[in-house]
Chains A and B, each alone.
Chain A
Amino acid sequence: MNELIDRYVLAVARRLPASNREDVARELRATIDDMLDARGSRDQGAVRDVLTELGDPAVLAAGYRSGPQHLIGPEVYGPFLETLRRILAIALPVVVGIQLLFGDWGSDRSVASIVIGAIAGALQVGVHVVVWTALTFIVIERSGAAREVADGGEGWTPDDLPALPRQRQITLGELIGAVVVLALIPAGLLWQRYRSPYEEAGDPIPLFDPDLWDLWIPVLFGIVVVNLGLEGWKYAVGHWTLPLVVANLAVNVAFVGYFALLFSREDVWNPAYAAELAERTGFQLADSPILAIAMVSIVAISAWDIVESIIKLRQAPTERVLLEGVPA
């Protein structure tokens, strides 16, 4: 007997169930002998040729086994991914939210360490969700329930089709976020007018030059109102359209232009406030880079807003095609 053949037969046999292991091994041995006869040689080279032709013992053994050769087969792969996605979409935000909410804020732990803790917690939960969902689906696959899961048990009919996604491109959350940010502008201006750390004869000294209220600040209120109108229009349409992108561009240009003009033409700080501040803290408002930083930020935010609207305009047709079946 040849050692290489013994090793091959054993490598196949040990991968088979006990019920047919011996029978398959015996037949395999006879087959190898027949193949060697056909070659007219029993030397080591011929043996190697024959075994190479039979191929990887693991593959050969897999052919004999009848059960599924995969953990999660094509029938349940889709439902598996869908389940995973749904659980993660709920579990992860909840875990992060809880950890941030009940984080150790009182102690001297830094904000960063609490945030990192929340992310680590989310990762841990994520791994658990993936592992347990996978195990559940492996059981479903093995128990033969796979076909039922795949077709919902009763066989598929067109009624099983999911409803079309009516997902808005511009969500209510986005609308609320934009309104809150915009509302901060008039709120801040009014606040600085009536609340100030410095007083003169019982009256607060505003941060910004009171003369601005004659023209500049009302104009800014006007721009904010137009902006609010644009946000409302965006939400009403639900997705970006060309008129919306153009209007958004105009509003952003107006916003940037307004501040560029304001900062270049007017001394926005209230001289009385600047004097008071300089006297008490030595901080010179006029020399500070605050306005420059503000200008750069305004330009950056507006530029991004314009770019984003164009990107989203390009994405919007996909949804329209899906809903109307006609390429735009």
Chain B
Amino acid sequence: MELDEELLAGHVQELRRGTVVLACLSVLQAPHYGYALLSTLAEAGLSVDANTLYPLLRRLEKQGLLHSEWNTEEPRPRKFYEVTDLGRALLERLATEWASLDTTVRTILGRSEP
């Protein structure tokens, strides 16, 4: 049985979608600029496209979960993002949710094993 690459990619993306927000909020407990965040996530094994991440950061900022600041002291001005108190609260809830989801899925997977 040959698994179609495109089909696989679509489902993997679906599975990962929500985890990107969780990972971003977690990394951004310390201020990062966009590309540094991207690299950190990639190093950790979660590769996110730049054209997905940057708009996402804007949305989270608009929802009051992140706040941003331009750092113009360096020769290259960069926009730094950091979680707000609201973002931190959401991060905690999402982390709990993730843990319970992990347990649930593991249980289901274990039960269905042949």
Give A residues with C-beta under 8 Å from B: 20, 23-24, 26-28, 30-31, 33-35, 38, 53-55, 59-60, 63-64, 66
| Contact between chains at B59 and A31 (CB < 8 Å) | no
| Contact between chains at A33 and B76 (CB < 8 Å) | yes
Pull 22 A–B residue pairs with CB atoms less than 8 Å apart, ordered by A: A26-B79, A27-B54, A27-B79, A30-B33, A30-B78, A30-B79, A31-B54, A34-B33, A34-B34, A34-B35, A34-B78, A35-B50, A38-B35, A38-B39, A53-B49, A54-B50, A54-B51, A60-B51, A63-B51, A63-B56, A64-B55, A66-B59
Closest chain B residue to A12, Cβ basis: B51
| Contact between chains at B62 and A27 (CB < 8 Å) | no
| Contact between chains at B58 and A20 (CB < 8 Å) | yes
Q: How far is the CA of A64 from the CA of B59 in the complex (A)?
A: 8
Could you say which of A26, A33, A55, A66 contacts B62, with CB atoms under 8 Å apart? A66
| Contact between chains at B35 and A35 (CB < 8 Å) | yes
Q: How far is the CA of A66 from the CA of B60 in the complex (A)?
A: 12
| Contact between chains at A30 and B49 (CB < 8 Å) | no
16 new A-B pairs (CB below 8 Å) besides A63-B55, A66-B59?
A: A24-B58, A27-B34, A30-B33, A30-B77, A31-B34, A31-B35, A31-B50, A33-B76, A34-B34, A35-B50, A38-B35, A54-B51, A55-B51, A63-B51, A64-B55, A64-B58
| Chain A hits for B50, CB < 8 A | 31, 35, 53-54
- The proximity string for B residues 38-53 relative to A, scoring 1 for CB distances below 8 Å and 0 otherwise, is 0100000000011110
Known contacts A27-B34, A31-B35, A55-B49: A63-B77 contact under CB 8 Å: no
Closest chain B residue to A23, Cβ basis: B79
Q: How far is the CA of A66 from the CA of B76 in the complex (A)?
A: 28
Q: How far is the CA of A55 from the CA of B54 in the complex (A)?
A: 13
| Chain A hits for B33, CB < 8 A | 30, 34
| Contact between chains at A63 and B54 (CB < 8 Å) | yes
Q: How far is the CA of A64 from the CA of B77 in the complex (A)?
A: 21
Q: How far is the CA of A82 from the CA of B36 in the complex (A)?
A: 50
From 11 to 29 in chain B, residues with beta carbon under 8 angstroms from any chain A beta carbon are none
Which one of A20, A27, A35, A53 has the greatest number of beta carbons of chain B within 10 Å?
Answer: A27
Known contacts A20-B58, A27-B34, A31-B35: A63-B76 contact under CB 8 Å: no
CB distance from A58 to the nearest CB of B (A): 11
Q: How far is the CA of A328 from the CA of B77 in the complex (A)?
A: 73
- The proximity string for B residues 61-80 relative to A, scoring 1 for CB distances below 8 Å and 0 otherwise, is 01000000010000011110
Closest chain A residue to B39, Cβ basis: A38
CB distance from B33 to the nearest CB of A (A): 7
Closest chain B residue to A34, Cβ basis: B35
CB distance from A197 to the nearest CB of B (A): 77
Q: How far is the CA of A35 from the CA of B52 in the complex (A)?
A: 15
Q: How far is the CA of A57 from the CA of B39 in the complex (A)?
A: 22
| Chain A hits for B56, CB < 8 A | 63
| Chain B hits for A60, CB < 8 A | 51, 54-55
Q: How far is the CA of A214 from the CA of B82 in the complex (A)?
A: 105
| Chain A hits for B77, CB < 8 A | 26, 30
| Contact between chains at B76 and A30 (CB < 8 Å) | yes
| Chain B hits for A28, CB < 8 A | 54
| Chain A hits for B52, CB < 8 A | 63
Closest chain A residue to B77, Cβ basis: A30
Which one of A20, A23, A31, A60 has the greatest number of beta carbons of chain B within 10 Å?
Answer: A31
| Chain A hits for B54, CB < 8 A | 24, 27-28, 31, 60, 63-64
CB distance from A60 to the nearest CB of B (A): 4
| Chain A hits for B78, CB < 8 A | 27, 30, 34
Q: How far is the CA of A35 from the CA of B50 in the complex (A)?
A: 10
| Chain B hits for A24, CB < 8 A | 54, 58
